[in-house]
Amino acid sequence: MRRLLLGADPESGNHAPAWTHRFAYRTHSGILAFLHQQARRNLDAHHLGDEPVAWEPPAYWLDALDLPQPSLDLPDERVRALLTAESTERDVARQLRLTVLQLRLLMESRGLSAATRPHNKGTYPRPPRQGVLVPERLRDLYERQGLQQLQIAELASCSSAVVKTALKQAGIARRPRRAAGDLKRSVDPAWLRTEYHLKGRTVADIARELSAPDTNVSQLLDAWFIPRHPPGHSAPLAWQPSPFAHLGIPLSAPMEHISTRRGGTEWLHAALLVPAHQSRRSAALTLGIPRTSLNHRLRMLETAAGFEIFNHRRRPVVATPRGRALLDEAQRLFHLLNQ
C-alpha cells in the first residue's frame, strides 16, 4: 500500500516506520475512498467478491482479549471539530477521553480524517553554513584547490547532494562536464594499468578519482586491453588523495593511511565526537545515525589505523594512548583545514 501511495519502494525493515501513524491520521478522505475502491477491485479480481472490504475477526475468536472498542455515542460533528490542522492524535484522544488506538478505530470506522497542515515550503529561514560549507571556504576548496564534490562532502560529513546545493546557494558555478574523448586523452594507459591491474583498485574507485562515470573507465580498460579482475577479487580499501596534503604538514603513518581512504575523514569526525559523550549511543544520537553505523565507522577507522583507538571495555569509552595521539593530530588538522 505504501508503494502504491508513494510511487516508490518504502524503506526496508520489518516494522512500519513511525510516520505511518501520522500519515493515517491525516489521510485525505479521497485517498481513503481510493484505497477502498482498490481493495474491492482486488477482491473481485481474485473472485472473492463476497468478502467484505473492511473485515474484523468475530468477537468470540478473541474472548480472552479486551479489544479497544471506540465509544459509539460520540457525534461526528464533535470529532470533526477537534481534527484541525494543528491537532495531534494524542491531544484529540485526550479530549475525547479515548486511547489513541480507540481514536484510530473510530476515525477508520467513520471515514474521518484530520485536516492536513498547510505547506510552507521555502518560508523557513535557512541557517548559515558552517565549517567547510561556508561560501568562502567552499569556493577555495572547489575552485582553487580543485576538490571534487564527494571529497568536500567527506570533509563536511554530509552527502554530495548537500554540497551541490551549497555550491548553488553560494553562486559557485559547477565545473563543466568533460568533453567526449577528453578522458581518453588525459589518462595515461600505463597509469591506468598500474592502478587497476597492479594495485588492484576498482573501477568505481578510479572513476571517483578521475571524476568520471564508471562506464567510461570500463571502456578505457577494454580499449587498452587491460585484463579485468577475476571473479571474487578482493579489492583494497578505496584510495583518494588526502584532503590534508595541501596543508604542507607531515602526517603520521596512520593518519596518512586513514586520510587516503574513502570515508576516512568521516570516520575521524565520528571518533572525535566519542570522548565527549558518556556512551557511544549518545554520540550516535548527536551524529543522527544508528549506533550500529557509528560502531562500523569506528571499526573501519581502527582497521585503517592498525591499532585500537578506544578502550571499548570501559564505560565511558576512553581513548588508548596511541588513539589519543591520533585524535589530537586529527583535531589539529581539521582546525587548520577549516581556517
pLDDT digits (tens, 9 = 90+) for 36-70: 888 888 888 888 888 888 766 676 776 666 666 66
Whether 78 is covered by a domain: the verdict is yes
Q: How many Å apart are CA 82 and CA 309, to the nearest integer? A: 55
Residue 13 belongs to a domain: no
Q: Is residue 99 part of a domain?
A: yes
Q: Which among 36, 44, 320 has a CA at the least distance from the CA of 328?
A: 320
Q: Is the pLDDT of residue 178 over 60?
A: yes
Indicate if the alpha-carbon torsion angle 294, 297, 301, 307 is positive or negative.
positive
**Per-residue confidence band for 2, with pLDDT thresholds at 50, 70 and 90:** low
Residue 261 has pLDDT above 90, yes or no: no
Shared domain for 152 and 136, answered yes or no, is yes
pLDDT of 5 = 58
291 contacts 297 by C-beta, under 8 angstroms: no
- Classify residue 122: in a domain, yes or no: no
Tell me, yes or no, whether 99 and 25 share the same domain.
Answer: yes
Q: Quick one: pLDDT at residue 19?
A: 61
What total number of domains does the chain contain?
4
Q: Give the lowest-confidence range in 101-110, 182-191, 208-217, 259-268.
A: 208-217
Residue 300 belongs to some domain of the structure: yes
316 with 272, same domain? yes
Tell me, yes or no, whether 194 and 229 share the same domain. Answer: yes
Q: What is the pLDDT of residues 157-174, one digit of tens each?
A: 777 788 888 999 899 998
- Shared domain for 24 and 105, answered yes or no, is yes
Residue 211: partners with Cβ closer than 8 Å, 6 or more residues away? 148, 178
**What pTM does this model have?**
0.37
Cα-to-chain-centroid distance, residue 226: 36
CATH number at residue 266: 1.10.10.10
Residues 195 and 227 reside in one and the same domain: yes
If asked whether residues 147 and 185 sit together in one domain, one would say no
Give yes or no: residues 96 and 154 share one domain.
no
Contacts of 209 (CB under 8 A, 6+ apart): 239, 240, 241
Which pLDDT score is estimated for 115? 82
Question: Is residue 180 very low, low, confident or very high in pLDDT (cuts 50, 70, 90)?
Answer: low
Least confident of 112-126, 139-153, 256-270, 293-307: 112-126
Q: Looking at residues 298-304, what average pLDDT do you find?
A: 86
What is the predicted pLDDT for the residue at 325?
94
Domain presence at residue 185: yes
The answer to whether residues 198 and 267 belong to one domain is no
Residue 137, in any domain of the structure: yes
pLDDT at residue 283 tops 60: yes
The half-sphere exposure of 272 on its side-chain side, counting CA atoms within 13 A, is 17
- Domain range for 285 is 245-337
Residue 213 lies in a domain: yes
